[in-house]
Amino acid sequence: MSIQDEFSFINQIKPTTVHHEKTLITGIGDDAAVYIPSPNQSQIICTDTLVEEIHFTSQTMSPFQIGYKALAVNISDIAAMGGNPLYYLVSIAIPSSWSEQDLIEIYAGMSELANSHRVDLIGGDTVSSKDSLMITVTVIGETEEGRQLLRSHAKSGDVVFVTGTIGDSSAGLELLLSKGRHGTFNSNEDFLIKRHQYPNPQVKIGRFLSKLKRVSLNDISDGLASESNELAEASQVTITLNANLIPLSKELVSCDSEGAIEKALFGGEDFELVGTMSMDEWESIQQDGRLQNLIKIGTVSSGKPEVLLQLENELITLEKKGYNHFKK
């Protein structure tokens, strides 16, 4: 391990402020963290592991960006449940090729995002690794009892929506793999790269949606096709998407007009939200303008659990494929 003194390192990454001091009893510094759950709230817990050369490389991400994204992907899962993130824990396996300063930058990236969402670092672990850096982040959140937004909530007649443009992150990764993160990029390319390196978890929208009567929700980590199939399978419904309604950024279309729709469907790592709600709720939201970030992209009908894409005059079955961590 490149860290010479683990206790000194822990002191360097230990937060100086606590966002939830009324409910956090013990954070970093004891055998385990202790906190008081809020009354009438359901606890939400999610975890993700990022592995060097599979989920990130130094060619595409700085240590700060790696840390930022490692936390962002978990906060996005909390958002997809309609929850509010509160605490996070980090376990990191460190090879000798990573310097202590690099590791401090990773935690600095997490800290920047954590502060913007008022999330407290309360524990974790540091161990050595032979070859690759591995980061496992666990986030704890909460939502009102019975208000969690499950994938199984979609029903026939629902509207299918997304929260923003899709495919940007995939295009940004493609540019980074081609030129490296120190390459020269125009303004459109720089936009796509930032979308890949700094995902924006949609917590506020998730919280808003949790107040509605019935919403199914998923975050777009593996591509719109894969995530829509997960909704269809969990709810046992048919989802039909309209290719002309899928929001594509002007930057993506400018850089890759022919491949834009494929990146939106199968690229992944946009960390926007895709979900469904009743037509009545959709029309109510449209009339009062409570949430203008939602874009309608399709409908839900009864039938076998599958996802169809209306593309011009064709109706195509979208397979459940997208980013695969284990593909060669």
Check the annotation: does 48 bind a ligand. yes
Check the annotation: does 47 bind a ligand. yes
Check the annotation: does 124 bind a ligand. yes
Burial 23-61 (b: 16+ CB within 10 A, else e): bbeebbeeeebebeeeeebbebebebebebeebbebebb
Distance CA 23, CA 21 (A): 6
Check the annotation: does 29 bind a ligand. no
Check the annotation: does 151 bind a ligand. yes
Amino acid identity for residue 136 in this structure: T
Check the annotation: does 125 bind a ligand. yes
Check the annotation: does 147 bind a ligand. no
Instruction: Give the neighbor-by-neighbor strand order of the sheet with 120-128.
Output: 41-51, 134-144, 84-94, 120-128
Check the annotation: does 303 bind a ligand. no
Check the annotation: does 77 bind a ligand. yes
Check the annotation: does 283 bind a ligand. no
Check the annotation: does 19 bind a ligand. no
Count of Cβ atoms closer than 10 Å to residue 176 Cβ: 22
DSSP character string of 291-327 = --S-EEEEEEESSSSEEEEEETTEEEEEPS----TT-
Distance CA 58, CA 91 (A): 20
Residues in binding site: 31, 47-48, 55, 77, 107, 124-125, 151, 219, 221-222, 269, 323
The binding site for ATP comprises: 107, 124-125, 151, 221
Q: Which residues are annotated as a binding site for Mg(2+)?
A: 31, 47-48, 77, 125, 219, 222
Q: Binding site for substrate: what residues are annotated?
A: 55, 269, 323
